[in-house]
Amino acid sequence: MDLPDLSTVSGAELSDDQVRGILAQIDLDIMNLVRDGKLAALKYGIPGDGTRHTDRAANLRALLEARDRYQAVLHSRPAWRMTQAACS
């Protein structure tokens, strides 16, 4: 059943490693799409043959936009963190 809204959804902020993992997956999807789409998650088929269809250029554009957004998330985070040690 689809959710009627997002009021019951919760989660934590993605870690830097999780964002890097998402970027790696997007890069793999882009590479597979460029390599003739043979391993792409979305199959390209002939209308009426029962497979899902999309425009390859639109799929590539969507992947590149998603990559740009996740890269921006990663770059918006501090490059280093300061901690304070307790002195006794």
Q: Is 82 helix (H, G, I), strand (E, B) or coil?
A: coil
Which of the four pLDDT bands, split at 50, 70 and 90, describes residue 53? low
Q: What is the pTM of this model?
A: 0.63
Cα 56 to Cα 62: distance, rounded to the nearest angstrom: 10
> For the ranges 2-6, 43-47, 67-71, which has the lowest average pLDDT?
43-47
Say if CB 43 and CB 52 are below 8 A apart: yes
> For the ranges 18-27, 31-40, 66-75, which has the lowest average pLDDT?
31-40
Residue 60 has pLDDT above 70, yes or no: yes
Model pLDDT, residue 1: 79
**Across all residues in the chain, what is the average pLDDT?**
80
Say if CB 52 and CB 15 are below 8 A apart: no
In the chain, what are the domain boundaries? 16-76
